[in-house]
Structure 1
Amino acid sequence: MRQLFELCGNDRDIRFSPFAWRALFCLAHKGLEFERTPLMFLEKDPYEASGSTALPVLKDGETWVTDSLDIAKYLEATYQDNPLFGSDVALGQAQFLNNFFNQVVVGGLFPMLAADVFDLLSDDNGAYFRKTREPNFGGATLEQMRDKRDSMVDAYRASLNPIRATLGSQNFLCGDAPAWADYAAMGGFMWAKVVSKFDPIANDDPINAWRERMLDLFDGLGRSAKTV
């Protein structure tokens, strides 16, 4: 049985990792059965054999795969049905897109959402999260960054113009139907949906209409996620 190890809060039904959500959508796209295993930040023993110290991690039989992009590439190479990329060219372009989604979509959300993630964690996991994440804020606390998010959100929305422009002429980033790039982008927005009541996307934004379509995929995999 395939097993996806993913981050959770103190409530194990709150599964929030943007990178795990990418893997979840990819597994669903491939039509594969899998078991979800929620773990908190400090619970590393169950996937120690993978050699990774961070989630998500996929265990497929005796094979361990780490990193959301590597998981997608593994699924594409191992299971031929329902392509995620469609060609070697698209597979090569994925590295560029992965960096864009990591730095712009997820990276832009991080200062606005980090305190909300902290609020979901147990005391020891919260202390770990604060110690490892707060240094990114130049002396500001998680909570101080959250207090600034109303002044940050317009710049964040502007940074998404390449996504917005693409969705102005097609229903999904990959065209008429969703594939890997859609799932990679949606991971960040699932993170925001799960951990916070703060919505970084305006209701009349074309990204919101795309996001609604993404939430309905795979019998509402995203829409049924437990949120705060």
Structure 2
Amino acid sequence: MIELYELAGSDAEVRFSPYVWRVRMALLHKGLAFNGLAWRFCEKTRLETACGGDRVPVIRDGDAWVKDSHDIAVYLDETYDGPRLFGGKGAAEQARLMEAFVTTTVLMPVFPMIAADVCACLDADSAAYFRKTREQVLGRTLEEARADRESRLDSFRAGLAPLRMTLKGRSYFSGDTPAWADYVVFGCFMWSRIVSPFELLDSDDVLHAWRERMLDAFGGHARSARLGYTNLPS
């Protein structure tokens, strides 16, 4: 059975990495059984020893170790039959554009809004590491970065216009059924959903309706995922 190393909170059942969720959905898409293994920020040597990496997602498939969500998706399509994650020739490389767009348009704007919420979900050692490294990136405390998030929502939502345009006339970014492009976007919203009560989308947004369909996919696998927060400050 494939082993998937997943970023976990203080509760080992809270798995929140946006990149890991891409892979989770990809494994379900391919109909592959897998075992999710909890991994935390302060366990880098655990993966360095095994495969030379220091971050997740990582899969172990027999003797094969594969790192990076994109490379894992390519590996799954090349190794296993079943529904394709990517379309025809060149589609995997073309998907890198979507991944870069999602990083700059969704992940990066959302990060300061929920980073403090992520920290609150972590064990003490991971929280200390996360706070030190992420505050260096943000140039302010996690709480300061979260404080004005309401005022940034309109700008963030406006920046999602290309995603809404892509969904016009279709149920998923990949067409009639979800595939890798959907999992790339969805991973971001699962990350936020699991660590934070802060709502990123209006209820009448077509992206909200798409997200609901994704939560219900594969028997509601994502909808049933353990949440990592209780009574976090808004």
Give 1:10 shift. Answer: 0.5
> 1:111 and 2:105 equivalent?
no
CA distance in 2 between counterparts of 1:44 and 1:136 reads 20
- Answer with 199-208 or 78-87: which moved more: 78-87
Secondary structure at 1:59's aligned position in 2?
strand
Give 1:98 shift. Answer: 1.1
Matches within 5 A, 1:1-228: 1-48=1-48, 49-138=50-139, 140-227=140-227, 228=229
Secondary structure at 1:103's aligned position in 2?
helix
Structure 2 length normalisation: TM-score? 0.94
CA distance in 1 between counterparts of 2:121 and 2:93 reads 37
Contact 2:47–2:55 (CA under 8 A) maintained in structure 1: no
2:232 corresponds to: none
Contact 2:30–2:84 (CA under 8 A) maintained in structure 1: yes
CA distance in 2 between counterparts of 1:13 and 1:121 reads 12
Give 1:32 shift. Answer: 0.3
Report Cα offsets for 1:56-105 as digits up to 9, x if no partner: 11111111111111111111111132100021232221111111112211
CA distance in 2 between counterparts of 1:9 and 1:145 reads 21
Runs of 5+ unmatched residues, structure 2: 230-234
Aligned length: 227
Secondary structure at 1:70's aligned position in 2?
helix
Secondary structure at 1:36's aligned position in 2?
strand
CA distance in 1 between counterparts of 2:127 and 2:103 reads 23
Secondary structure at 1:88's aligned position in 2?
coil
Runs of 5+ unmatched residues, structure 1: none
Give 1:47 shift. Answer: 2.4
CA distance in 2 between counterparts of 1:87 and 1:16 reads 31
CA distance in 2 between counterparts of 1:216 and 1:45 reads 36
